[in-house]
Structure 1
Amino acid sequence: MTPEVSVIIPAYNRCAMLLEAIASVLAQSAPAFELIVIDDGSTDGTSENERLRRMSETIRIERIDHRGPAAARNRGVALARAPLIAFLDSDDLWSPTKLERQLAFMRDNPGCAISQTSEIWIRNGRRVNPAHRHRKRAGDIFIDSLRTCLIGMSSVMIRAELFRSSGGFDEHMTAAEDYDLWLRILIDHEAGLLDEPLVTRRGGHPDQTSATTPALDRFRVLALAKLLADNRLSPARRTSVVEVLAEKCRIYARGLRRRGRIDEARLYEWIADQARGWDTRAAPEIGCAVESMRSMLRVDAIHASRNCT
């Protein structure tokens, strides 16, 4: 029988937390799901774990070369059979009724292509209250999402057709790939919200992207520049994107100058200056800016990998 929802968990060197995440899915009250785990080239023995091996009879586990969470999630969707997709990060947990309640929400709202639930935030083992800017809301949240990613990866449920038609996660982005995808989707779609805390979001551990990836705004700037090349933006939305892009570019450029990276600072200052003319049209310079930033990120990634060896 075709499942109602495909649950996808990407995992990299988090065997213990992964097992807990899987257990929270297998404990779901809704039976009509398939679980796909993508081991993103873990080196901590994840693929050899005996408990995980025993689970392979009931869930699908595939190991790929390490390419990052975007590629792992995309691979999971490529294997998915259901019309709905739900993602769960390997360090997060679901309440037992998460799928049941959200599937009911999607059935009751057939025009809703993407929805999420509320979350409980845990940091370093203690519950914390998210800042006001992280408060989830329903409807047209595109402009509000420009400064802060307002869709939680482990709480989202999306129609598979929409995910695939959007192009999925940008596999060249090693961070903020969720921010990038949700913004592209939110151009045309409102977000549904099931305002129940059905996800436990666990933070504070040292291997989180926010802890291991410096200057995350580099990736957000790239995502914003990509948006300006999209002709679907209304004039008001284009103006908002330009404003946030210029703001983030100038902040990041100041940091680059403090670290003596002058040539890179000049690129982001140039983008901030040029962006003033991009609020009315998708100018050819946007493509140049996107490629320059992609090239710079590739160089940074090479340097980072060398420093780790």
Structure 2
Amino acid sequence: MPVITVAAVIPLFNGAAFIREALESVFAQSEPPNEIIVVDDGSTDNGAAVVEELAKTHPVVLLRKANGGQSSARNLAIQNCQSSHIALLDQDDAWYPEHLAILKRPFERASPTDRLALVYGNLDHVDVTGQMVAHSCLDIFSTKHPRTTLEQCIGQDMFILPGASLIDRKVILEAGRFDEQLSGYEDDDLFLRIFRRGYRSTYIDQPVTRWRIHSSSTSYSMKMAVSRMIYYRKLKGMFPNEPRLHTHWLRDLIAPRFFRSTIQDFIGGSRLGDVPRMERTWADIQEIASELPRRPRKRIRRVAPIINLTYRGRFANIARLLLRYAASRRK
């Protein structure tokens, strides 16, 4: 049985409200990690002071760096740890006590020929106060786990949450670590590169993490919108259409995936009256639409003049309806 050592890696940026709960969930593990590394990514609140206080009584290493984003913070910790495996945790999430014990088992049973690189589990969704929203929330999405095809990896979001995963460190280094240009989709990007190298993953259909979603989450930030388009363009370059092979990665999988998510972002901004967000996402929608299959591409071209006239003002609801029409599957 291989010996599995684990480094718990937590990026910290202005997370004073949550970091104590996150770290206490690490301390409470039935099988504790071998290392606990928190990377303060240029915080301006007292989150780092909370970590320093806890480090007086627990084996926590606090690294500090100028603000560069979650990817760079994770990379710094991965580069400076000694363990064989990396357990990621976001500052506003928390592990259940058996988290590491459950995720380690498949690695302990695996042989080198299995090429197992990633084990991940389900999650419970909680709100900003930690109250339950949904048990086993990955069950809500009609997606197959674990990912076994390229189509599953690029045609929809991976839904492999870093905070519910345990990853072979040497495979992360081989795959090139997290892309520091990305402040969203960086996990999908890394897991895709791991998959493309022929490594395998195992899914545990049991909640191992409490996943907190709130208005300050990265998912709702402008950084996420910028990162989404960086990742879209990256995939566009990696997987162009190949008509001679009757394969259209970009047209049939990548563009529809990002078209749907960008429209949802536009609608969210419209409901909040967030004009800069709407302007950004409308420009992104038009860029992505040029790569869509013929019917939705024509629908966007048809409604674009009206959307241009309505989305900034009190008739934004018209723009929302037109975009829903453009994204529909009707013929």
TM-score between the two structures when normalised by the length of structure 2: 0.69
Instruction: State the identity as a percent.
Output: 23
Task: State the Cα deviation string for residues 41-82 of structure 1 (Å, max 9, x = none).
Answer: 110122233x63341561110111111101000111011101
Structure 1 unmatched runs, 5+: 230-234, 274-309
Alpha-carbon distance in 1 for matches of 2:109, 2:75: 27
Task: Provide the residue aligned with 1:207 in structure 2.
Answer: 216
Q: 1:61 to 1:134 in 2, by over 3 A?
A: farther
Q: 1:226 to 1:115 in 2, by over 3 A?
A: farther
Alpha-carbon distance in 2 for matches of 1:100, 1:32: 10
Q: 1:242 to 1:107 in 2, by over 3 A?
A: farther
Task: Provide the residue aligned with 1:198 in structure 2.
Answer: 208
Shift of 1:113: 1.1
Alpha-carbon distance in 2 for matches of 1:150, 1:199: 14
Shift of 1:165: 0.7
Shift of 1:212: 1.5
Number of aligned residue pairs: give it: 265
1:76-91 to 2 correspondences below 5 Å = 76-91=77-92
Task: Provide the residue aligned with 2:236 in structure 1.
Answer: 225
Task: Provide the residue aligned with 2:328 in structure 1.
Answer: none
Alpha-carbon distance in 2 for matches of 1:153, 1:240: 26
Shift of 1:207: 1.5
Shift of 1:161: 0.8
Task: Provide the residue aligned with 1:65 in structure 2.
Answer: 66
Q: Which amino acid aligns with 1:193?
A: Y
Shift of 1:191: 1.7
Q: 1:206 to 1:84 in 2, by over 3 A?
A: same
Select which of 140, 143, 149 maps to 2:151: 143
Equivalent pair of 2:41/2:67 in contact (CA under 8 Å): yes
Alpha-carbon distance in 2 for matches of 1:28, 1:17: 18
Task: Provide the residue aligned with 2:299 in structure 1.
Answer: none
Q: 1:122 to 1:189 in 2, by over 3 A?
A: same
Shift of 1:248: 4.6
Range 128-137 or range 94-103, more displaced: 128-137
Task: Provide the residue aligned with 1:304 in structure 2.
Answer: none
Q: Over alpha carbons, which structure has the higher Rg?
A: 2
* DSSP 3-state at the match of 2:32: coil
Structure 2 unmatched runs, 5+: 267-275, 294-331
Equivalent pair of 2:182/2:231 in contact (CA under 8 Å): no
Alpha-carbon distance in 2 for matches of 1:177, 1:167: 12
1:11-160 to 2 correspondences below 5 Å = 11-49=12-50, 52-55=52-55, 58-110=59-111, 111=114, 112-124=116-128, 125-128=131-134, 130=137, 132-133=140-141, 137-138=145-146, 140=148, 142-146=150-154, 147-160=156-169
Q: 1:177 to 1:61 in 2, by over 3 A?
A: same
Range 242-251 or range 87-96, more displaced: 242-251
Alpha-carbon distance in 2 for matches of 1:25, 1:8: 10
Q: Which amino acid aligns with 2:204?
A: L
* DSSP 3-state at the match of 2:18: helix
What is the Cα-based RMSD across aligned positions, in Å? 3.3
